[in-house]
Structure 1
């Protein structure tokens, strides 16, 4: 069973989605389950994980409602203010919903590159294990070394890196991203999503070969047991269609065994998020 470990839904408005600039105007509209379901069906994908795009409890509750209404949404990665003194209360409320599988904060937008080492943030991370929730690490390549310090402090917490930690694929630059990925992959509680790649490349001229060194690095560092396919739909559509994103990864891993490909395209996601 194929699964998409990373996609988004939203009702577009300029206030909440100001990060969608004019160069991304193709996604300046609403994207809802009825838009995604036929795309997944065409790709032979049976389900997905809906990931937060706004930092609000309201959106988390909305995504949980969508999961309750649409069978193909197998789980939700929502947002809770882990830095708040009310984090435990917020978690208690949303974690009671069985569709909540994980939590995420848009760390990449935090000006402090050491944000993950903040005492209040780590206090929030410490709460997740008791609720059986995973944590999505949306970090930049500059923040990645500090994320490695974080995961070491919480060896029983499940972490997954979103979007390969956003390497400079357009510039073809691998160092020091490569070394940082190899360092964090040493920790067995960390997985990595093979997602968000086309938007880190040249949106108009990327080729299959542009992604080879980055995918090779991640697959070598994490192995096929700790990586999972994610489309990052609809954000990916600024640089390619859903089928192009899906085929990009399929092409790269076509020499792997059928069992390994099954892990990457579904089994690892199911096990990690406990869908």
Structure 2
């Protein structure tokens, strides 16, 4: 089974996508599951993980409602206000919905770079462990040393590093990122999504521009700890679903068939669906 481990759906009228403006013209419109379905069919993708794109619990319920009636969507990574006084109660309430498989605070948009290190977050991390929820880490390279501390402090929590932490491919400044990734990958409770790389590359990117970063995460995380994701429809800003999938398959052409199956589906099933969500048949 092939799984797209990272995509979004949104409706502009909801009004909670603060980052989504007319400046992002190719994706400044509604994106429904019906828009994605033909792409999944062409790519032979059997199932998906739907990921939040707005910092509201209302959007999380919106996504869960879609997942409830969509066979392709096997789980939802949602959002909770981790800073709320009743954050644990909020997690408990959301976890009643069995298709919730993880939570993702939008760390990249938080002004305090040390936010991840706040002691008050310990109880929310514990609540996630209690409910078998995955922590999707939407971070930038500068956050990786802080994330390393959190991963060490919470060995019972499963972490997923979104978009390889967005290495600065266009600027060709990835030395610090590579060092941080090498350290982070030594921790057994974190895996990495091979996603979002094309939107970090130059507008005229070629497959070779993605190779150093992809080879690096493959070398350090290994094929059993990598998950492929499209980041659709954001990927439409940099070539689209089919072009990114073709690039990923070319970048992983030397990986064995067994390991390729892991990256393109089996690992996502293990990480997200082994305890919660719709189990893979």
| TM-score band, normalised by shorter chain | over 0.9
Partner in structure 1 of residue 256 of structure 2? 257
Partner in structure 1 of residue 110 of structure 2? 110
Cα distance change of structure 1 residues 124 and 186 upon mapping to structure 2, 3 Å threshold: same
- Equivalent position SS for 1:192: strand
Instruction: Please list every run of 5 or more consecutive structure 2 residues that lacks an aligned counterpart in the other structure.
Output: 274-278
1:13 Cα shift?
A: 4.1
Kept in 1, the 8 Å contact 2:16–2:55? The answer is no
Distance of 1:124 and 1:93 partners within structure 2:
13
**Can you list the C-alpha shifts for 1:182-232, whole angstroms capped at 9, x where unaligned?**
1111100000000001110112x1000001110011001100111000000
Partner in structure 1 of residue 233 of structure 2? 234
CA RMSD of aligned residues (A): 1.2
Partner in structure 1 of residue 56 of structure 2? 56
Partner in structure 2 of residue 187 of structure 1? 187
Partner in structure 2 of residue 173 of structure 1? 173
Instruction: Please list every run of 5 or more consecutive structure 1 residues that lacks an aligned counterpart in the other structure.
Output: none
**Can you list the C-alpha shifts for 1:33-86, whole angstroms capped at 9, x where unaligned?**
111111111100001000000111111111111011110001000011122221
TM-score of the pair, normalised by structure 1: 0.97
Distance of 1:217 and 1:237 partners within structure 2:
25
Distance of 1:264 and 1:119 partners within structure 2:
34
Distance of 1:246 and 1:105 partners within structure 2:
26
For residues 67-82 of structure 1, what are the structure 2 equivalents within 5 Å? 67-82=67-82
For residues 135-150 of structure 1, what are the structure 2 equivalents within 5 Å? 135-150=135-150
Kept in 2, the 8 Å contact 1:105–1:138? The answer is yes
Distance of 1:139 and 1:151 partners within structure 2:
13
Distance of 1:248 and 1:14 partners within structure 2:
33
Kept in 2, the 8 Å contact 1:116–1:122? The answer is no
1:137 Cα shift?
A: 0.4
Whether 1:211 aligns to 2:226 is: no
TM-score of the pair, normalised by structure 2: 0.95
For residues 123-138 of structure 1, what are the structure 2 equivalents within 5 Å? 123-138=123-138
Kept in 1, the 8 Å contact 2:16–2:56? The answer is no
Distance of 2:83 and 2:213 partners within structure 1:
32
Partner in structure 1 of residue 197 of structure 2? 197
Partner in structure 2 of residue 32 of structure 1? 32
1:21 Cα shift?
A: 4.0
Off by >4 Å, runs of 4+ in structure 1: none
Partner in structure 1 of residue 276 of structure 2? none
Distance of 2:55 and 2:36 partners within structure 1:
22
1:114 Cα shift?
A: 1.2
Aligned length: 274
